[in-house]
């Protein structure tokens, strides 16, 4: 993890997943873990691909990582995709590598209670219990009933009471606890279900020949041209355009630019949103203006990230896209077939 010394002795919660997309439920669990488990920080481990899930509907890693970083703007939450560089795919392998790299850190694996019944399908799930303490947080529809599933029952004698949660990071595994807490109803599945379906090729007709699907290619290009003019008029620096067509369903282009100060970053974003509105784009969501280090302008077909130079260098969205594209074409070494797979 960038900026983390190898000799760190911090108490660290690991929250892994696809984050497709990151949502308030992830943030809720993280804040509860900081408070209820007495952790120093939380690491969101954004997975390139969950082995238990289909790749259909999966946004590119760089997009998911960018959204997660935008949401988790908290001084004690770090967001990255270490599996891409570690070359690991299964949770057990990732945890073992992180423990090797940070031998003095005290890690806790964080999951929602809805994951408890699925644990028996994870690769090496018993070894996972023996490798790292685990904390399961209540989720809507998944409370104490989830404790009756096979994995919790198999390790029932190693369970700590919720009131002992602050001891968990210091316990030798196997050790785990269930944390009943205020429920958060946000769900990545529900969020994806509400998104407009843009998987159909542009310019094609739908099944009803009377209702053609509009070709939005020209509209997206015109919107991109407007965005570039606005950024250039406001003296934005280092403007980079990433073509997402065929790679993502949420936008056609991602634009990254820099402002020299917090004030300029916010001004660039405000002026862009106003110009898009005047061009007939309607309401334009703008996120991150409170801090001014990183502001996201979601124009629909074009998503714009405006940074100050230092946060832009730290988050390195352009580099992450390059890493993902490199991973997509990199030959993969053959691996022995494993009977069970896990996220």
Domain co-membership, 135 together with 26: yes
Domain boundary pick from 173, 190, 207: 190
Question: Quick one: pLDDT at residue 246?
Answer: 67
- Owner of token pair 């031998």: 103
Residue 230 and residue 111 share a domain: no
Task: Give the containing element (helix H, strand E) for 302.
Answer: strand 302-307
Reported as a single tens digit per residue, the pLDDT across 105-118 is 999 999 998 899 99
Please say if the pLDDT value at position 125 is more than 90. Answer: yes
Task: Write the pLDDT tens digit of every residue in 261-290.
Answer: 999 999 999 999 999 988 887 778 888 787
- Between 123-127, 203-207, 239-243, the lowest mean confidence (pLDDT) is in 203-207
Structural domain boundaries enclosing 231: 217-329
Same domain? For 174 and 277 the reply is: no
Residue 55 domain-assigned? Answer: yes
My answer on whether 46 and 174 are in the same domain is yes
pLDDT tens digit string along 9-22? Answer: 999 999 999 998 88
Q: What pLDDT is attached to residue 334? A: 44
**Does residue 196 fall inside a structural domain?**
no
> Does the structure show a pLDDT above 50 at 140?
yes
pTM for this entry:
0.61
Residues 144, 75 share a domain: yes
As given in the structure block, the two tokens for residue 13 are: 């919660």
| Angstrom distance (rounded) from CA 322 to CA 337 | 29
Q: Are residues 165 and 232 in the same domain?
A: no
Do both 300 and 226 map to the same domain?
Answer: yes
Evaluate whether residue 127 is within a structural domain.
Answer: yes
CA distance 314 to 219: 33
Contacts of 300 (CB under 8 A, 6+ apart): 223, 251, 281
Question: Are 143 and 63 contained in the same domain?
Answer: yes
* Number of domains the chain is built from: 2
Q: Taking all residues of the chain, what is their mean pLDDT, rounded to a whole number? A: 81
Q: Which domain-ending residue is among 190, 208, 231?
A: 190
Tell me: do 222 and 319 sit in the same domain.
yes
pLDDT tens digits, 164-199: 999 999 999 999 999 987 654 444 444 444 544 444
Q: Is residue 6 part of a domain?
A: no
Alpha helices in 37-81 (DSSP H): 61-71
pLDDT tens sequence across 39-79: 999 999 999 876 655 556 678 887 888 888 888 888 999 99
Residues 53 and 184 in one domain: yes
More confident residue, 327 or 242: 242
Higher pLDDT, 12 or 242: 12
- pLDDT interval class at 211 (50, 70, 90): very low
Decide if pLDDT at 154 tops 60.
Answer: yes
pLDDT at position 248: 62
In a domain, 200, yes or no: no
Helix axis angle for 317-329 and 61-71, nearest 10°, is: 150
> What DSSP designation does 157 have?
G
């Amino acid at each position: 993890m960038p900026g983390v010394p190898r000799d760190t002795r911090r108490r660290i919660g690991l929250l892994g997943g696809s984050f497709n997309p990151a949502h308030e439920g992830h943030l809720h669990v993280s804040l509860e873990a900081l408070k209820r488990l007495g952790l120093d920080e939380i690491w969101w481990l954004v997975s390139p691909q969950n082995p238990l899930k289909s790749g259909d509907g999966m946004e590119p890693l760089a997009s998911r990582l960018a959204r997660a970083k935008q949401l988790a703007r908290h001084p004690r939450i770090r967001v990255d995709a270490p599996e891409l560089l570690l070359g690991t795919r299964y949770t057990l392998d990732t945890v073992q590598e992180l423990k090797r790299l940070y031998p003095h850190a005290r890690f806790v694996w964080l999951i929602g209670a809805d994951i408890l019944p699925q644990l028996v399908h994870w690769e090496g799930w018993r070894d996972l219990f023996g490798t790292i303490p685990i904390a399961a947080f209540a989720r809507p529809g998944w409370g104490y009933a989830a404790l009756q599933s096979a994995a919790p029952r198999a390790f029932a004698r190693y369970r700590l009471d919720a009131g002992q949660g602050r001891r968990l990071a210091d316990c030798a595994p196997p050790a785990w606890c269930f944390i009943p807490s205020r429920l958060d109803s946000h769900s990545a599945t529900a969020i994806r279900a509400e998104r407009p379906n843009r998987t159909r090729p542009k310019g094609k007709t739908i099944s009803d020949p009377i209702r053609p699907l509009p070709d939005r290619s020209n509209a997206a290009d015109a919107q991109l041209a407007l965005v570039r003019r606005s950024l250039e008029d406001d003296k934005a620096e280092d403007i980079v355009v990433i073509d997402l067509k065929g790679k993502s369903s949420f936008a056609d282009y991602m634009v990254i630019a820099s402002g020299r100060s917090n004030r300029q970053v916010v001004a660039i974003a405000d002026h862009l949103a106003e110009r898009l509105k005047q061009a007939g784009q309607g309401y334009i969501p703008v996120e991150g203006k409170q801090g001014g280090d990183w502001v996201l302008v979601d124009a629909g077909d074009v998503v714009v990230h405006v940074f100050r130079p230092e946060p832009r260098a730290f988050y390195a969205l352009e580099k992450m896209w390059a890493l993902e594209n490199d991973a997509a074409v990199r030959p993969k070494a053959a691996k022995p077939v494993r009977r069970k797979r896990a996220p």
